[in-house]
Structure 1
């Protein structure tokens, strides 16, 4: 029985989606849960799996077309079943008719042009070269419409394996290798190096092993690539290539990172996070590494060169771990981290008194985007529209309190090593803020509520679904910790780390970025004291946590009275919809969070 493939609901308030690419074509066989097509919405880009096994009999919605939630996208028929209303009978009727037409045309063709057969046979000889599998330019990120071939790793006549790197492509967002979709022989190269091709365009043709004629080699007439070939062939590529986004987290602001203390401006935790995605690359052979400097002098992609400029890395001193010793983004980041670690290394013990004079802060490098114009990414347009609507729909107001988190800082310092061993994640300030906020939401549910002015109702959710703002390459996204009120400190810390990592690597599911009732944004991750967050509709409030900094504060000592002491301080800013939340409600909520943090009673949560 035919099964209909429908547009799923890909997030709260999402009513439609755009088909960006069909992974299967009509007549292809599919398995249950095998990716069938890719869909893009205002909130997420994702693959739609097949709901049943069978044959893709009909595609209803083409690429770049938009369909409403619940509408039919395609039809899957079981093997041997009809492909749709009367299709089988129609096929049986059309088949003899087509055969009759062919039979009627054949005598005429033979009578008029008796010598046509020989040229036809001659053309049939090289046919295998045209019957190969095309290698197409993939979609390498949202809003990316084209890519430039920077280097061919294989030439016409070379044999390739499945997933073996075939060429390197550069876009305005990413540099990456394109793997071969099949095993075989390169029959044709259609786009030469330094040429640009649109997404979906054919780049090359791969035929069966040994099927390529020798004369097919000069057909594309590429420039001789004697140097890359011997360097590229020795590298085994058994493992599947990681997605570009997995290789490298965004170097910019990440709202889910721990709040920055003044004394930890070097941020070694972030350095470790950046090193994690590049770990798989170290498994690749790096024998050609000595030629990395030479390769860098020959060609370095614009993205790598820009990254090196931003981090002050000398490319001539970097050994590349890419194909043929090519310098990759991971190499630049690792070199930058090593340089930073070397600068931050403590002075030798025998010279404690000879403190080196403080060096002036490094001058920031000018961005390569100065004086340029680029296409507005769709997700940025969506964010802009929603922020504008939210700001105009609500009567938003922000209330700020100052919190002394010295006790939390001391507990964190005592427990962070054992906490990481026990839970597998680092202990930042953010889980403390999140836990205190969730407990305050339970005490003051109006802050967690939503209002429908047209219906004249206020809805109080049964649970606290906490959104965590995360900065990604595609823009700001907010994954959700559903049922955060049921989690302890360790559970919240693990959920934050997991959601943040999968959001950055584009492995988050649509359901995990929908349904937030309250949002937490760590605006202090890069040193900001506080800001005034914009509440995302239909939520009624959003809490921003500033940087944790040490400074002198007047405290009341039981024995000495009022004294000035160095304390760890942070600002908490609550933006809220004044139509539903009064200023007194906001103040009560913030005071509850403040008292919970200043009490610092988290020993049981930390196992102390």
Structure 2
């Protein structure tokens, strides 16, 4: 498994393009590996026959560990053990407080067993000097959320506990019988037997992007005290201007409401710098940004992705429309680069015409706010008749939601931001003027 990005210690297998026994050519695809939210296609460095694979779909493979064993013509191939220095650096990076890194790396230095030995070999339990299991920060966070003591989890051949080891540990758990001297528990009310549901369809394993989405959303709701504020905006004039721009666009991309909303957001944020920010929970530091790197939640066949519009404050309406289309297509096709899927400072999520009356979006951690425009509806509204009275007129209205991290953003600030945003949305000339 090659080094496919700075700071990446492991990748998840999301698809195999080969199986044991297949003959493959040099540069032909082997597997799709996922890191963060980017999927990378691994290619074969040689021509030969696949003899071993690293695991099933959903398993994780550490950088520097064998991904496949390929037998080339003219001889057989035996999987080498991990390079001791690489293993030492990886273990030290994943477990900075481990004092026995040398011991763990030395044991791995002499290993040359194939990926799947003919006889089961109990994996070693390598621990730090303090008895702490070797595991990546992501695995530690997941174990904490599940209430699992990593010291009780058996790791891989290198002693490192990964997601699949945590899954196996959970499946192996059984209720423990109470000790003889333990006080008798109160009898529980009898429960009806589990109902057997007829017509069960396909079972789908939660892996790859869908698992990462689940973990990220759970972490966001678990760590961030959300609150949501919603207000109504009159977009009648904005829609009129949008129609005129599109009528005269020529070969420019068609303008949706989103470029106008992003422009209004970028014009409003300098007045509310705590909205365009990221919160480092461990360091207890909030970083405010002058540039707006806007995350754009996009639904794809693989799940929700958030490509990032860099320096959105510097783009015109037409440039925003072109960038939105480019990033959305890259996300749908799975060709978005890692740097296009990270580093956002604020996110906008929109369901377009499917949007409801109001939404309560989940914050894209470690950001502190997320904005959700809802669908446009037409309703009768009282408006001024210009003579001191009122008349009823059909207007186009849209609710705008904002969810904020209450540790960083106060309710007053969120409401004030949306009110300022509303003024720009309802007066398009003011919005476009700055």
Structure 2 residue aligned with 1:411: 241
- The 5 A counterparts of 1:72-83 are none
Q: Secondary structure at the match of 1:516?
A: coil
Q: Structure 2 vs 1, CA of residues 603 and 518 (structure 1 numbering), >3 Å: closer, same or farther?
A: closer
Structure 2 residue aligned with 1:395: 225
Report how many residues are paired.
310
1:548 alignment partner, one of 366, 376, 401: 376
Cα separation, 1, equivalents of 2:251 and 2:396:
26
Shift of residue 28 of structure 1? 6.9
Structure 2 residue aligned with 1:335: none
Cα separation, 2, equivalents of 1:510 and 1:18:
15
Q: Deviations over 1:330-372 (max 9, x none)?
A: xxxxxxxxxxxxxxxxxxxxxxxxxxxxxxxxxxxxxxxx953
Structure 1 residue aligned with 2:95: none
Shift of residue 14 of structure 1? 6.5
Q: Please state if 1:21 is matched with 2:2.
A: no
Cα separation, 1, equivalents of 2:201 and 2:388:
62
Q: Deviations over 1:24-48 (max 9, x none)?
A: 99997746xx756421346343314
TM-score, structure 2 length as denominator?
Answer: 0.61
CA contact (8 A) 1:7 1:67 kept: no
Cα separation, 2, equivalents of 1:15 and 1:559:
69
- The 5 A counterparts of 1:52-451 are 62-64=54-56, 65-68=59-62, 371-376=199-204, 377-378=206-207, 379-419=209-249, 421-423=250-252, 425-451=253-279
Greater Rg over alpha carbons, structure: 1
Shift of residue 57 of structure 1? 12
Shift of residue 387 of structure 1? 1.7
Q: Deviations over 1:142-197 (max 9, x none)?
A: xxxxxxxxxxxxxxxxxxxxxxxxxxxxxxxxxxxxxxxxxxxxxxxxxxxxxxxx
Cα separation, 1, equivalents of 2:399 and 2:40:
37
Q: Deviations over 1:63-95 (max 9, x none)?
A: 53522357675899xxxxxx9999xxxxxxxxx
- The 5 A counterparts of 1:570-585 are 570-585=398-413
Q: Which ranges in structure 2 are unaligned for 5 or more consecutive residues? A: 71-76, 81-197
Q: Which ranges in structure 1 are unaligned for 5 or more consecutive residues? A: 77-82, 87-369
Structure 2 residue aligned with 1:534: 362
Structure 2 residue aligned with 1:346: none
Cα separation, 1, equivalents of 2:262 and 2:362:
18
Structure 1 residue aligned with 2:5: 9
1:520 alignment partner, one of 348, 358, 363: 348
Q: Structure 2 vs 1, CA of residues 539 and 399 (structure 1 numbering), >3 Å: closer, same or farther?
A: same
Shift of residue 562 of structure 1? 3.5
Shift of residue 578 of structure 1? 0.4
Q: Structure 2 vs 1, CA of residues 47 and 573 (structure 1 numbering), >3 Å: closer, same or farther?
A: same
Cα separation, 2, equivalents of 1:483 and 1:58:
46
Shift of residue 59 of structure 1? 10
